[in-house]
Amino acid sequence: MTDAPGLHPDTGGPGSLLDLRTPCALVDRAILDRNTERMAARATRLDVRLRPHVKTHTCVPAARLQVRGHFGGITVSTLAEARYFAEAGFGDITHAFPFPMAAIEDAVRIAHKIERLTLLVDQESTLEALDAFCLSRGERFSVMLKVDCGYHRAGVDPRGDEGIALALRLASSPHLEFGGILAHAGHAYACRDADEIRTVAAQERDVTVEFGARLRAEGLEVPEVSIGSTPTIGLADDLEGVTEVRPGNYAFHDVFQATIGTCALDDVAFSVLASVVGRYPDRGALIVDAGALALSKDPGPVHVDPDCGFGVVVSEDGRERHGDLRVVSLSQEHGVIRGAGIERFPVGSRLRILPNHSCLAAASFDRYRIVNGDEIVDEWRPVRGW
């Protein structure tokens, strides 16, 4: 698909950024190490199991860094990811997406390969279909109940009775193993600063722990109380009652996280290397070869910074922030950069762009170049699709 070299074309060993054709995806190894070590240490300090989400990078080496010092379980968002990580030796995988019964044969195949594949339900009809399938086929799945802790996307209402009934029904099935409850505070991304995130983190914890207590009051065993997002777990003070956390984005971080106060811009491990292909002083703009297909059209944290644009510009070696340069608009292959100092960048200059949303930007690429400053030290290939 692309013939740009990953390693040096002559030596086969590590090359330099100069060998790379743009646009391409860079991962700063030192920052990735630091981000993953910090979160692992946080989870240990908070006395919870870390089951990192791998959907941000979807590659094995980054997942291995995420699970260091913990039990090795991971979270995925697609069955393609589940299959890929199962084949790579990950033995305990939670598919954290409302389970689609049309994919049950895929799930069976994956579950047979590993120690435990946990599925997620919040719909009675899915639960009944899964139970009937397991009965007829002699299969058995670990199943967690998805709880709405305030994001109002998926999940049962933790204050209503339907969730209780669903959990009881789940736990009563001889073919299903009730794995516990799972919540995700996606609404943490609507926060404007660290204080607001801490409030949402407390809500995510409290709502989920209280729902667990309601289930226990019904006589149910609740093996796992699982919560998490990068903002809430990154800033939570106390996770009393929680057993497991599932942050994911923190491995790469991004401009969104930095803007809402989850990390600093210096913590962003993922960037897109781009080349200036046009300089237009009269219009105050540069054009680079990283457009919507390299950065994604994620609008970013406009609730905090209405002018955030689509990415922050740093130097080719990643060490210097270029004033207030921003990617201000995107078309399919063009990125437009504005800000003070564009005259410093002649055509052919190369820049790193820190994206608004690293999960979506990373998904644009079929490989990541792992870099240490301007040296390429490795190349990783993510899984894509469904």
- Name the site residues for a copy of itself (rule: CB under 8 A): 1-4, 21-24, 55, 77-78, 80, 97-103, 106, 122-123, 125-126, 129, 152-154, 157, 186, 275, 277-280, 282-283, 287, 289, 292-293, 296-299, 331-334, 336, 346-348, 359-360, 363, 365-366, 383-386
Residue labelled with tokens 């079929």:
366
* Burial of 45 from C-beta contacts in 10 A (0-12 / 13-18 / 19+): exposed
Q: Decide if 340 contacts 273 (C-beta within 8 A).
A: no
Question: Min. distance of Cβ 347 from a copy of itself in angstroms?
Answer: 5
* Burial of 276 from C-beta contacts in 10 A (0-12 / 13-18 / 19+): buried
Q: Which is nearer to a copy of itself, 77 or 226 (CB)?
A: 77
Question: Min. distance of Cβ 152 from a copy of itself in angstroms?
Answer: 6
Q: Which is nearer to a copy of itself, 273 or 313 (CB)?
A: 273
Q: Decide if 378 contacts 16 (C-beta within 8 A).
A: no
Q: Which is nearer to a copy of itself, 98 or 241 (CB)?
A: 98
Q: Which is nearer to a copy of itself, 159 or 319 (CB)?
A: 159
Alpha-carbon span 262 to 381, nearest angstrom: 27
φ/ψ of residue 379, rounded to 5: -140, 130
Q: Which is nearer to a copy of itself, 22 or 243 (CB)?
A: 22
Distances in Å between the Cα of 32 and the Cα atoms of 56, 125, 267, 296, 358 are 12, 41, 8, 21, 13
Question: Min. distance of Cβ 315 from a copy of itself in angstroms?
Answer: 17
Helix segments in the chain, DSSP class H: 29-45, 60-67, 79-87, 104-113, 124-137, 162-172, 194-217, 230-235, 255-260, 292-295, 358-362
Question: Min. distance of Cβ 279 from a copy of itself in angstroms?
Answer: 7
Question: Min. distance of Cβ 10 from a copy of itself in angstroms?
Answer: 15
Q: Which is nearer to a copy of itself, 34 or 334 (CB)?
A: 334
Question: Min. distance of Cβ 314 from a copy of itself in angstroms?
Answer: 19
Q: Which is nearer to a copy of itself, 12 or 299 (CB)?
A: 299
Residue 329: its H or E element:
strand 321-330
